[in-house]
């Protein structure tokens, strides 16, 4: 029997909220991850992105005109 380690990937998202300009493109493209407050500023309910939402979350981050959303892959 071979002892192989399996690497799992997790995706972590961070937002520089004070620099958000409130365009809302992120929430339009991925409302499961990006939420908007009453002033149109993005907020997160958590900092992890499920695998099934990574493509939309990445598209939302890349569409941000202020480039305040960062997604990083964490392998454990």
pLDDT attached to residue 1: 45
pLDDT tens track for 10-59: 999 999 999 999 999 999 999 999 999 999 999 999 999 999 999 999 99
pLDDT attached to residue 43: 96
CATH of the domain at 27: 3.30.70.20
pLDDT attached to residue 3: 52
- 4 within a domain of the structure (yes/no): no
- 56 within a domain of the structure (yes/no): yes
- 10 within a domain of the structure (yes/no): no
- The tally of domains found in the chain comes to 1
Q: Which residues contact 28 (CB under 8 A, 6 or more apart)?
A: 60
pLDDT attached to residue 2: 46
Query: Which residue in 57, 59, 55 sits closest to 44, CA to CA?
Result: 57
Q: Distance between alpha carbon 74 and the CA centroid of its chain, in Å? A: 13
Q: How far apart are CA 73 and CA 71, in angstroms?
A: 7
For the entire predicted model, the pTM comes to 0.86
- 12 within a domain of the structure (yes/no): no
Calculate the alpha carbon distances from 31 to 6, 48, 76 in Å.
31, 14, 27
- 24 within a domain of the structure (yes/no): yes
Domain with 56, as residue range(s), is 17-75
pLDDT tens track for 60-69: 999 999 999 9
């Amino acid at each position: 029997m071979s002892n192989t380690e399996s690497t799992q990937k997790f995706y972590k998202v961070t937002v520089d909220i004070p620099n958000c300009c409130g365009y809302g493109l992120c929430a339009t493209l991925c409302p499961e991850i990006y939420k908007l407050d009453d002033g149109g500023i993005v907020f997160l309910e958590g900092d992890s992105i499920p695998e099934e939402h990574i493509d939309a979350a990445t598209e939302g981050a890349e569409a941000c005109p202020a480039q305040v959303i960062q997604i990083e892959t964490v392998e454990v």
